[in-house]
Amino acid sequence: MKWRACSKGLWYDRGEGRSVYFDPASGDTHLLDEFAAHILQQLSLKSLSESELQQQCEPALADLSTDEQEQFLEQLLLELASLDLVEVF
């Protein structure tokens, strides 16, 4: 099972730990934290499985156990999916 971004949107990042993302497919604007923005940007480049994402993000999640990393990433992906920003295929 892989994840991908639903559309390629527009980004605005002032370097303050949060990014604004405009989704042209829905017309919605989202305020994302730095980590969520990173995940969405990675999935905009190519489709990835949760384990591939976890490997890419391991340095940022180093203070969490492997199980906690999996839970955190799964929860984030489900949250992004509920906003129609990412999807499973």
Exposure b/e, 16-41, CB count within 10 A at least 16 = b: eeebebebeeeeeebebeeebbbbbb
In a structure prediction context, what are the per-residue pLDDT tens digits for the chain, which is 89 residues long? 999 999 999 999 988 999 999 999 999 999 999 999 999 999 999 999 999 999 999 999 999 999 999 999 999 999 999 999 999 99
CA distance 33 to 18: 4
- pLDDT, residue 14, reads 87
CA distance 85 to 9: 9
Domain ranges of the chain: 3-88
- pLDDT, residue 23, reads 96
Give just the sign of the alpha carbon dihedral 68, 50, 44, 21: negative
- pLDDT, residue 31, reads 97
- pLDDT, residue 48, reads 98
CA distance 31 to 22: 9
pTM of the model: 0.92
Which CATH number applies to 3-88: 3.90.930, 1.10.3470, 3.30.420, 3.40.1350?
A: 3.90.930
